[in-house]
Chain A
Amino acid sequence: MSLKEKLEVLADAAKYDASCASSGTAKRDSLKGGIGSTEGMGICHAYAPDGRCISLLKILLTNYCQFDCHYCINRKSSSVRRAAFTVDEVVDLTIGFYRRNYIEGLFLSSGIIRNSDHTMEQLVLVARKLREDHGFKGYIHLKTIPDADPEIVAQAGLWADRVSINIELPTTSALTRLAPDKSEKRITGAMAEMKTSILEAKEASRKFKYAPRFAPAGQSTQMIVGADAATDVQIIDRASSLYQGYKMRRVYYSAFSPIPDASAVLPLQRPPLMREHRLYQSDWLLRFYGYEPFDIQDAAENGMLPLDIDPKLAWALKFRSAFPVDVNRAERERLLRVPGLGVKAVKTILATRRYRQLRLDDVARLTQSIAKVRPFIVTLDWRPTLLIDRADLRRLVAPVEKQLELFAG
């Protein structure tokens, strides 16, 4: 099999992992040797027509696997074409792509070959060779193998910027059904160990300048949405406990998508992609807007978030008595609840109102869409007297359905 064919097979096998972040790690450059840099902000070097960012070379070392997880295209019983890279092939490909400015670095995962320890050792070896032999300063994300020896997993943290292990499914019952070889206990156990190592290394680097770095961009995880019966509220509850319990930097939600040669126990229809989007919006509300999981529950109907409007708007429509909010007086927490006002807009409003009393025009200049915000705010010259009580408010503020963009050629 040619290298190109291997790349096709092993990138295809890796694409169901949503994560492609390259941000939030330590600053590095190659002025004193080697190649590469990281400057804090992640860079997306391309976007695919699925709307996902391509920041890293995201591949599997091999898609041979001993596990038989039903949602996974690489499961043992799948008839998918198999391939395996050598360690050097991955290293050379990463450097070759990096030199041409195609990527920020490498996101390496793997099927389980021989045993978990061996697989993890190979992943670590790729990262070590990149760092030691090539002086690679770019971003490395390693997937860790749940059952591998903690010693080897710990080495991953020494070479990589980020490590991750997927929780896979929001409920334990679904994990048992769909990933019979995986155990929730082992997954969360590995997360807990990783959290401890990351916190210890942070502590050490505060005390000693040259303390070894350990996964400076933290750990992340992914949940598959729509392959089991879990509701949006169950998913968000789970995510919230992952953020708190394991200090996750990110929880990714991946709408289950049909795979070639699907297993018999999978739902055959995919969930709407909008559902995934609403979950990300809720995730943002939890992390940056001061919402709690019970707020998301309030915004939902029978555990499911509306698809036609975003969760913040859904919450606002249910709690109309919390509005209108006076942009000239209200505290930050209340401004953050206004549909259409983002974190940045709220910050600008807070800074600006120290210098002037805001009028509707002023707010319009600071936000994307004043039409969305207007029913929920009070300004010096504007008060939405009746609007907030109107029964058809939802129709007035909900986005107009757009036709799918068709493509010429």
Chain B
Amino acid sequence: MRAAPARVVRLAAEDDWDGWRDAARRLLAARVAPDAIVWQARESADDLFAAGGNDLPPEPQLELRVPRAFPALAKSALLHKDSERFALLYRLLWQVTEHPGLLNDHADPLVRRVELMAKAVRRDIHKMHAFVRFREVEVLVEEGAEGHTRFVAWFEPEHHIIRATAGFFVRRFAQMAWSILTPELSVHWDGEVLSESIGADRSQAPSGDPLEDMWKAYYAAIFNPARLKIGAMTKEMPRKYWKNLPEAQLIAPLIAGAQAREATMVAQHVAPDERGISLQGLAEEAQECRRCPLWKGTNGCVFGEGPGDAKLMIVGEQPGDEEDKAHRPFVGPAGGVLDRALTQAGVERSAVYLTNAVKHFKFEMRGKRRIHQKPDTSEIEACRWWLDQEIRLVRPRTVLMLGATAVRGVTGKAATIGKMRGSPLHLPQGDGLVTWHPSYILRLPDKDAADRAYGNLVEDLSLALEKSREH
């Protein structure tokens, strides 16, 4: 079968909805198949083939019935820059008249394609509403006469949306005189009438505005350098728009300066004499902590104690039965061992900040007794929020970690004490040292082993004291 000779339909403009609709109605009524039509938009005003010169079938007698969703969808999609859009829409119209439910079938490739085109156009329109920037100019009507103010913008839309957006700017700036110049078409509003002229180029638009500096100052000041999210910005304000946005010139320098600005903010430290007050506040708030379930059944949170500007911090595992009752760290049997070792190593307890990796007593009821249980990783992790802040506030030169739980609390990593003893860790805050937990020493059944471990503890305390005096 031979294809019918192609029939060329020329529309008056790239966004000629009325022309397309009229032609489509006639062609459809005459059953001219989609493949037999070549659609074109007239390129410029002086095109020889003016609209109306089309050899179209007569106006149909009967009103064409299409689903209600079709005109809205087609009207948007028709503004798309894709040169196939007129043909695609006619093809869709052709199919819709045969299957009226087709538009509900969003998985149909043609329906989907047209929907995505319409979506792209709607987005372009929305972005034009957002990114047009007017500049104020004085217009002299004639020599010597009083000038009037006009607001002129230069914009480069992606699709053929100028006429479609003009109404928005009329409703918004009805009492202003304004012009929007684009490469394809320019629109002008004088306060009463909307008029059009041919496309312009950037050099015809004004190059500055008295308030633009204020706007840039605002843009720079409202930006929070402590939270860079460049991807989130470019997703909504793609680079293609930047060249016509005066504030976009600031983006690169703002990003470049941001990390440095945040670093200075974070590097600020709390003055030593204020640290005590801050720790007090933290300790009070920690009483309400519900970050893990360990608070249940305890007498409260056992927070760290000691001077806010201590040079040495000792971190244990968790409070035990007696600590929980007394609300103070290291007052039970293990605390006794620690006290003894501190004295032997020449460390004054009152000069040390003492705390635990986990701040609530974890136990299991056995009869009437509360038996100590090791905290698990998630509990240590939950409690790091507090330990981190204690370390950051006190800023000790040396942190001595007693046992694996303390190491995990301070560093976030698993540890084997036997292997790590003796070699200092580099913590962001200073030196880290690792040693046995006093309760481990208490639990060792072998007296010799316990004595050896106790000796290690005293050595490590001395080393920690020495380290904390360095620098």
Contact = CB atoms under 8 A, between A and B. Distances in A.
B28 interface: no
B229 A262 contact: no
B252 A48 contact: no
B135 interface: yes
Nearest to B395: A268
Contacts of A53: 236
Contacts of B392: 267-269
B348 interface: no
A132 interface: no
A355 interface: yes
Nearest to B232: A51
Contacts of A133: none
Given A43-B129, A257-B224, A303 B291 contact: yes
- Chain B's interface: helix, strand, loop or mixed, by majority? helix
Contacts of B106: 348, 351-352, 365-366
B382 interface: yes
Interface string A224-260: 0000110100100000000000000000000101111
B281 interface: yes
B139 interface: no
A50 B223 contact: yes
A229 B247 CA distance: 38
Given A46-B247, A51-B229, A258 B278 contact: no
A47 B262 contact: no
B353 interface: no
Interface stretch (A25-33, A120-128, A188-196): A25-33
A51 B176 contact: no
A146 interface: no
Interface string B225-261: 1111111111011000000010100011011101000
Nearest to B281: A265
B269 to A, nearest CB: 8
Nearest to A45: B130
Contacts of B393: 268
Nearest to B102: A355
A64 B236 CA distance: 35
A354 to B, nearest CB: 7
Interface string B365-394: 000000000000011011001101100110
A166 to B, nearest CB: 17
Contact of A301 (B258, B266, B378): B378
B268 A48 contact: no
A86 interface: no
B416 to A, nearest CB: 25
Contact of B175 (A3, A8, A34, A234): A34
A320 to B, nearest CB: 21
Contacts of A66: none
Interface string B151-185: 10100000000000000101111111000000000
Contact of A264 (B136, B266, B275): B275
Contacts of B212: 100
B107 interface: yes
A58 interface: yes
Given A33-B175, A229-B289, A354-B104, A49 B223 contact: yes
B104 A355 contact: yes
Interface in A2-56: 3-4, 7-9, 11-12, 14-16, 29-37, 39, 41, 43-54
A57 interface: yes
Contacts of A261: 268
A355 B105 contact: yes
B285 interface: yes
B221 interface: yes
B226 A258 contact: yes
Interface string B258-278: 100010111010110011011
B174 A365 contact: no
Contacts of A15: 221-224
B286 interface: yes
Nearest to B287: A173
Contacts, number: 248
A265 B275 CA distance: 8
A102 interface: yes
A270 interface: yes
B107 A358 contact: yes
A268 B264 CA distance: 12
- Chain B interface size band reads 35 or more
B265 A259 contact: yes
A273 B129 CA distance: 30
A8 B171 contact: no
Contacts of B214: 3-4, 7, 93, 96-97
B165 to A, nearest CB: 12
B266 A49 contact: no
A356 B221 CA distance: 53
Main DSSP-derived SS at the A contact region: loop
A368 interface: no
A362 B134 CA distance: 44
Contact of A4 (B209, B213, B264, B278): B213
Nearest to B274: A264
A37 B133 contact: no
B132 interface: yes
A130 to B, nearest CB: 15
A55 to B, nearest CB: 9
A407 B289 contact: no
A57 B218 contact: yes
Interface string A141-157: 00000000000000000
A197 interface: no
A30 B274 contact: no
A173 B224 contact: no
Contacts of B170: 31
B202 interface: no
B449 interface: no
B17 interface: no
Contact of A229 (B256, B271, B286): B286
B325 interface: no
B217 A30 contact: no
A101 interface: yes
A405 B133 contact: no
Contact of A302 (B151, B171, B234, B382): B382
A58 B278 CA distance: 32
Nearest to A255: B227
A408 to B, nearest CB: 8
B230 A48 contact: no
Nearest to B262: A258
Interface in B385-425: 385-386, 388-389, 392-393
Given A100-B134, A100-B135, A302-B378, A355 B101 contact: yes
Contacts of A43: 126, 129-130
A343 to B, nearest CB: 14
A287 interface: no
B136 A46 contact: no
A366 B116 CA distance: 10
Contacts of A30: 171-175
Contacts of A33: 174-175
Nearest to A43: B130
Nearest to A70: B281
A118 interface: no
Contacts of A269: 266, 388, 392
A173 B287 CA distance: 9
Given A7-B221, A58-B222, A269-B388, A35 B107 contact: no
23 contacts: A4-B217, A8-B221, A29-B171, A29-B172, A33-B174, A37-B168, A37-B172, A39-B171, A44-B130, A46-B219, A47-B237, A48-B222, A51-B227, A57-B218, A96-B211, A99-B173, A101-B133, A101-B173, A173-B288, A264-B277, A268-B270, A302-B379, A405-B230
Given A8-B221, A9-B221, 7 more contacts: A7-B218, A36-B172, A229-B286, A229-B289, A268-B270, A351-B104, A366-B107
